[in-house]
């Protein structure tokens, strides 16, 4: 089992951190492949509840090397802060490696994202305002600064001055803000560079050598398939590609190395921020899912919108990612509902869809077609095998598997590792 990819099949927050934890023993590398500090894993480390935004959750395991790959955008201040918190808890961060090709989030990215979101008014995307979208935009425009630039002060200042000239014009003339000082940025980023230097490496080569030596690599996606820049509900998406294929492009690893793509799927659905969500339940049931599932964002603390399992989304994610199996999380949250709704397809403009409609307007208007499955009263958190689950819960899982068309390999009934139940 050389390389495996863990990918969210919905709108993120599916519990991907738990899957990494479940598989960590078998791995040698855990690789974060997209996004920035807009993601969030809630993990328990040394008895502390810890929110990691950028450092891969693999850092908690002393046998693992944690890698931040080329396709991630890095706010060096935030990265160092996270590393300091981890070190403070006695966790060894010397095994964290960052690609020199990763792009830097700069102070003007944060500033510009804030003002452009404000400018969009009611059309605001609801971004996390961490500068991630603007950093990816500059990368595509070929005016980004990369981690490796920190180690050549002349180049760093030269590139910064070119780009800052334009950014400061935007800030002052368009948005009526104060300009940023190149000297301050140079000073701050030089200090970041000094501290990060021991962690920066050719990560593609490191992974290549690991794979050649038969070591296992886990690629850890952030966000989820429906937030993918190309394949998600654009423009209400993230500014990178969470889909499994991007793990390879980002890390510089060939596709033949991967033999497992694990889709992490919540037993219901949540979404943060704006955008279509056909199975959203704005009523008391949705409220109850949110309470029982503690559905508040790791990065923003925002309340997540909640609704019912949507087989259309998971079939779509199975296709886009080539899922080999599903890890179904948070089944325990559904205890106590007399019946549970499951969306099998959509109706939009009188037409029935079993797949995501081909036009965004249809998706916005899509009404879910539900079937109702029998619920269960029992708490599931004590179950230690799939057979321990009440029959209605097992039937629910089997029905989800049929609808998704992908094998459900493990069902999760709580945050702890032992609350992961292999199926069949």
Residues carrying an active site annotation: 13, 41
E-assigned strand segments in 176-324: 200-201, 217-220, 258-266, 269-271, 305-307, 309-310
User: Per rule CB under 6 A, is residue 32 in the interface with ligand GDP?
Assistant: no
Q: Please say which residue, 147 or 323, places its beta carbon nearer to ligand GDP.
A: 323
- The token pair at 305 is 């919108």
User: Per rule CB under 6 A, is residue 332 in the interface with ligand GDP?
Assistant: yes
Q: Please say which residue, 153 or 387, places its beta carbon nearer to ligand GDP.
A: 387
- The token pair at 115 is 């003002």
User: Per rule CB under 6 A, is residue 144 in the interface with ligand GDP?
Assistant: no
E-assigned strand segments in 141-215: 200-201
How many angstroms separate the CA atoms of 276 and 365, rounded? Answer: 8
Length of the chain counted residue by residue: 424
User: Per rule CB under 6 A, is residue 38 in the interface with ligand GDP?
Assistant: no
User: Per rule CB under 6 A, is residue 335 in the interface with ligand GDP?
Assistant: no
Query: Which candidate, 119, 114, 160, 159, places its Cα nearest to that of 133?
Result: 114
User: Per rule CB under 6 A, is residue 414 in the interface with ligand GDP?
Assistant: yes
- The token pair at 280 is 């959203």
Residue 36 C-beta: closest distance to ligand GDP, Å? 14
User: Per rule CB under 6 A, is residue 321 in the interface with ligand GDP?
Assistant: no
How many angstroms separate the CA atoms of 303 and 253, rounded? Answer: 37
User: Per rule CB under 6 A, is residue 300 in the interface with ligand GDP?
Assistant: no
DSSP 231: T
User: Per rule CB under 6 A, is residue 298 in the interface with ligand GDP?
Assistant: yes
Query: Which candidate, 396, 316, 362, places its Cα nearest to that of 10?
Result: 316
How many angstroms separate the CA atoms of 172 and 181, rounded? Answer: 13
Neighbours of 234 (CB within 10 A): 12
Tell which one of 28, 42, 117, 159 touches ligand GDP (CB under 6 A).
42
Neighbours of 90 (CB within 10 A): 8
Stretch that binds ligand GDP, among 34-42, 82-90, 127-135, 357-365 (CB under 6 A): 34-42
Stretch that binds ligand GDP, among 146-154, 237-245, 318-326, 412-420 (CB under 6 A): 412-420
Start-to-end CA distance of the chain, whole Å, equals: 21
Tell which one of 82, 290, 412, 421 touches ligand GDP (CB under 6 A).
412
Q: Count the site residues for ligand GDP by CB under 6 A.
A: 19
Residue 141 C-beta: closest distance to ligand GDP, Å? 29
Residues 4-23 that bind ligand GDP (CB under 6 A): 8, 13-18
User: Per rule CB under 6 A, is residue 82 in the interface with ligand GDP?
Assistant: no
Instruction: Tell me which residues touch ligand GDP (CB under 6 A).
Output: 8, 13-18, 40-42, 298, 329-330, 332-333, 412-415
């Amino acid at each position: 089992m050389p390389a495996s990819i863990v990918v969210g099949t919905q709108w993120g927050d599916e519990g991907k951190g738990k899957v990494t934890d479940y598989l960590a023993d078998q791995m040698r590398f855990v690789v974060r492949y997209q996004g920035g500090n807009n993601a969030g894993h809630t993990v328990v480390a040394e008895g502390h509840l810890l929110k990691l935004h950028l450092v891969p959750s693999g850092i908690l395991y002393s046998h693992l090397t944690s890698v931040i790959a080329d396709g991630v955008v890095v706010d060096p201040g935030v990265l160092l802060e996270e590393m300091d918190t981890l070190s403070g808890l006695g966790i060894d961060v010397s095994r964290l490696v960052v690609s020199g090709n990763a792009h830097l989030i700069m102070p003007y990215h944060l500033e510009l994202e804030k003002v452009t979101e404000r400018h969009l008014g009611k059309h605001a995307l609801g971004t996390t305002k961490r500068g991630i979208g603007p950093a990816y935009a500059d990368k595509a425009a070929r005016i980004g600064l990369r981690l490796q630039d920190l180690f050549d002060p002349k180049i760093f200042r030269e590139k910064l001055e070119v780009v800052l000239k334009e950014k400061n014009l935007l800030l002052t003339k368009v948005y009526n803000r104060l300009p940023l000082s190149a000297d301050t940025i140079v000073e701050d980023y030089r200090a970041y560079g000094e501290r990060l230097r021991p962690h920066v490496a050719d990560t593609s080569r490191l992974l290549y050598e690991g794979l050649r030596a038969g070591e296992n690599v886990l690629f850890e996606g952030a966000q989820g398939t429906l937030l993918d820049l190309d394949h998600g509900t654009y423009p209400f998406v993230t500014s990178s590609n969470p889909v499994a294929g991007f793990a390879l492009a980002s890390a510089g690893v060939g596709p033949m190395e991967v033999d497992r793509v694990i889709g992490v799927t919540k037993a219901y659905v949540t979404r943060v921020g704006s955008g279509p969500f056909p199975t959203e339940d704005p009523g008391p049931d949705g409220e109850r899912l949110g309470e029982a599932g503690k559905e508040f964002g790791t990065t923003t603390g925002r309340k997540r919108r909640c609704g019912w399992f949507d087989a259309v989304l998971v079939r779509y994610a199975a296709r886009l990612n080539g899922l080999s199996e599903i890890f179904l999380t948070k089944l325990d949250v559904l205890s106590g509902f007399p019946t549970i709704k499951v969306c099998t397809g959509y109706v939009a403009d009188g037409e029935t869809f079993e797949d995501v409609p081909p036009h965004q307007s249809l998706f916005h208007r899509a009404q879910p077609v539900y079937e109702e499955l029998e619920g269960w009263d029992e708490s599931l958190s004590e179950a230690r095998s799939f057979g321990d689950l009440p029959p209605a819960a097992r039937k629910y899982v089997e029905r989800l598997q049929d609808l998704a068309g992908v094998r459900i390999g493990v069902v999760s009934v709580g945050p702890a590792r032992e609350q992961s139940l292999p199926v069949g």
